[in-house]
Copies of this chain bind each other. A is one copy, B any other.
Amino acid sequence: MEKIKVAVLGATGMVGQYFLHLLNDHPCFQVVAVCASDARIAQPLGEVKSLHPAGIPEDMAHLALMGLDAGTLAGAGVQIVFSGLPADIARGIEMELAQRGIHVFSNASAWRMDPLVPILIPEINSAHLALVQQQLQQRRGFIITNANCTTTGLALSLLPLLPLGIRRLIIASYQAVSGAGYPGIPALDISGNIIPFIDGEEPKVRKECGKIFARIGASGLEPAEWQVHAHCIRVPTLVGHLVSTHVELAEAVTLEKITALFRDFEMPADVAGLPTAPAKPILMASEKNRPQPVRDADAGGPGRTAGMAVTVGRLEVDGNIVRFVNLANNLVRGAAGGSVLNAELCLRVGLIKGGAI
C-alpha cells in the first residue's frame, strides 16, 4: 500500500531533524517535503548542519528545503505535517494548514491550550481525540499537539497512579540542554553550572498536566484539578529530562501495591503495536542509582522505539505519598516521537485516511 505523504516543518532544527529520523523508513509515512525559514529555500537538506547523532538521513539528503507555504504543501499532496516550528511561527501556519485539510501534529506550544486541540499522549488520553471531531466540523484538517518535553515524561510516569486519585504534585526537574534547541544554551553559561530558571516552563508543566488528564465534560475538557508545584531547572546534561517527583494521593497506599502498579503497567491495547510504541511505556530502573540520562535516555528500544519509554526509579511510599524519579528522552518521547506516535494512533482509528496500521 502506498505511504501517506508527509512534510516536516522546521526541518533544519533539532526537533525537526528528530522527526526526519523517526519518519525515515517509516512503514506508513513518506517524507515528501521539508520546510524551513525563507532564507534556506532551495538548499538541499543534506547540506544542513546535522543536529542528530546519525546525521541527516541519506534518503532525504536530496530534498530541497521549501518555505512555509500551505498552498504548495497541499499541491504536493501532503496529508500530514509534523511541526517542529517555534511557537510564534507555528501559530499562523499550523492553522492555515488545518484549514486547507492538512492534519498537523505539532511539537510547538502555540495551540496546546486551545479548547479544541488535544495535548495527546496516546497511553493517557486517546479519548481526547473526540476533540478532533469537533475541529473537523470547523475546518477540513485538525491540529494535535504533543506535550512539553518535561510534562510528557512526568505525565506518563503518573499514569499507573491515576486510579488512586492524584491530589498534588511537587516536582523538581533536571533538564538537559537539548531541551532549548540549537544553538540553545552557550557552553559558557552551563558548563559545570546549574541554571534554576527556564522561562515559561513551570506554567506549561502545570497547565498541561491539568489538560492532559482532563475529563471530557458536556462543554469540553475539564482539567484535572491537581495542585502542581514545579521547579524547572537546567543542568549540564545533553539529552534526557529527569524529574524528582512527589505525588500525594487521595489515600494511603503500600509500597507493594505501588510497585506492582508500575511493574505491571501494560501498554493500552489501542496503542500497542503501533510502529513507534515501545513494548511498555514505563520501565522500572534496575538499580537504585538509576535512571541516569547517559544510560537510560534511549529506553524503550532498540530501533524505532528507542527513547519512547519512560524510566522510573527510587520508588518510595509514605502514607498517601508516592515518590520517585523519572527520566524521559526530551527529543524523542518528549518531542518528535510523541507526535509521530500521535499520528500513528490517528491512522489506526481512522482519523487519517490511508490504510490499516
Q: Which single member of B170, B172, B174, B314 contacts A197 (CB below 8 Å)?
A: B314
Residues of chain B contacted by A357 (CB below 8 angstroms): none
Instruction: Give complex CA distance A289, B197 in Å.
Output: 5
Residues of chain B contacted by A233 (CB below 8 angstroms): 174, 242, 244, 325
With A229-B321, A229-B323 known as contacts, the answer to whether A191 contacts B197 (CB < 8 A) is no
B194 and A323 form a contact (CB under 8 A): no
Apart from A184-B188, A191-B238: 7 A-B pairs, beta carbons within 8 A: A53-B294, A53-B295, A174-B174, A187-B191, A231-B244, A231-B323, A233-B325
A186 and B188 form a contact (CB under 8 A): no
A99 within 8 A of B: no
Select the stretch in A33-41, A126-134, A159-167, A175-183 that faces chain B: A175-183
A-B pairs with lowest CB-CB distance, top 10: A172-B172, A172-B244, A183-B186, A197-B289, A231-B244, A193-B294, A187-B187, A196-B325, A177-B187, A170-B170
B193 and A190 form a contact (CB under 8 A): no
Residues of chain B contacted by A53 (CB below 8 angstroms): 294-295
The A315-342 residues at the B interface (CB cut-off 8 A) are: 318, 321, 323, 325
Residues of chain B contacted by A177 (CB below 8 angstroms): 187-188, 191
Instruction: Give complex CA distance A238, B246 in Å.
Output: 27
Q: Which single member of B174, B184, B194, B229 contacts A186 (CB below 8 Å)?
A: B184
Residue in B closest to A198 when the chains form the complex, CB atoms: B289
Residues of chain B contacted by A217 (CB below 8 angstroms): none
Residue in B closest to A285 when the chains form the complex, CB atoms: B196
Instruction: Give complex CA distance A319, B184 in Å.
Output: 35
The A196-245 residues at the B interface (CB cut-off 8 A) are: 196-197, 229, 231, 233, 235-238, 242, 244
The A294-322 residues at the B interface (CB cut-off 8 A) are: 294-295, 313-314, 318, 321
Interface residues in chain A, defined as those with a beta carbon under 8 Å from any beta carbon in chain B: 14, 51, 53, 170, 172, 174, 177-178, 182-197, 229, 231, 233, 235-238, 242, 244, 246, 288-295, 313-314, 318, 321, 323, 325
A–B Cβ pairs within 8 angstroms, 23 of them: A51-B188, A172-B231, A174-B174, A177-B188, A182-B186, A183-B186, A185-B188, A187-B190, A188-B238, A191-B192, A192-B237, A193-B237, A193-B294, A194-B292, A196-B290, A196-B325, A197-B314, A229-B321, A229-B323, A231-B244, A233-B325, A236-B236, A236-B237
Residue in B closest to A174 when the chains form the complex, CB atoms: B194
Residues of chain B contacted by A244 (CB below 8 angstroms): 172, 196, 231, 233, 244
Instruction: Give complex CA distance A62, B26 in Å.
Output: 37
Instruction: Give complex CA distance A246, B170 in Å.
Output: 8
With A183-B186, A186-B184 known as contacts, the answer to whether A192 contacts B231 (CB < 8 A) is no
Instruction: Give complex CA distance A327, B329 in Å.
Output: 28
Residues of chain B contacted by A289 (CB below 8 angstroms): 195-197
Instruction: Give complex CA distance A299, B185 in Å.
Output: 25
CB distance from A353 to the nearest CB of B (A): 36
CB distance from A150 to the nearest CB of B (A): 14
Residues of chain B contacted by A314 (CB below 8 angstroms): 196-197, 231
Residues of chain B contacted by A291 (CB below 8 angstroms): 196
